Amino acid sequence: MKQALQCRCPKCNKGKLYQSLFDLRLRTHCGECALNLENNDSADGPAVFLTFVLGALIVPIALWVDACFNWPLWLHAIIWGIVILGFTVGLLKPIKAYVFMLQYKHRQDQWDEK
Residues 103 and 110: their CA atoms lie apart, in Å, by 9
Regarding 15 and contact with Zn ion (CB under 5 A), the answer is yes
Regarding 33 and contact with Zn ion (CB under 5 A), the answer is yes
Regarding 101 and contact with Zn ion (CB under 5 A), the answer is no
**Is the four-CA dihedral 71, 61, 44, 7 of positive or negative sign?**
positive
Q: Which residue from 49, 39, 34 is spatially nearest to 4, judged by alpha carbons?
A: 49
Q: State the nearest-atom distance from the C-beta of 17 to Zn ion, in Å.
A: 9
Amino acid at 57: L
Per CB under 5 A, the list member of 3, 6, 11, 65 interacting with Zn ion is 11
Q: How far from the centroid of its chain's Cα atoms is residue 72's Cα?
A: 32
CB closer to Zn ion out of 5 and 33:
33
Residues at the interface with Zn ion (CB under 5 A) = 9, 11-12, 15, 30, 32-33, 35
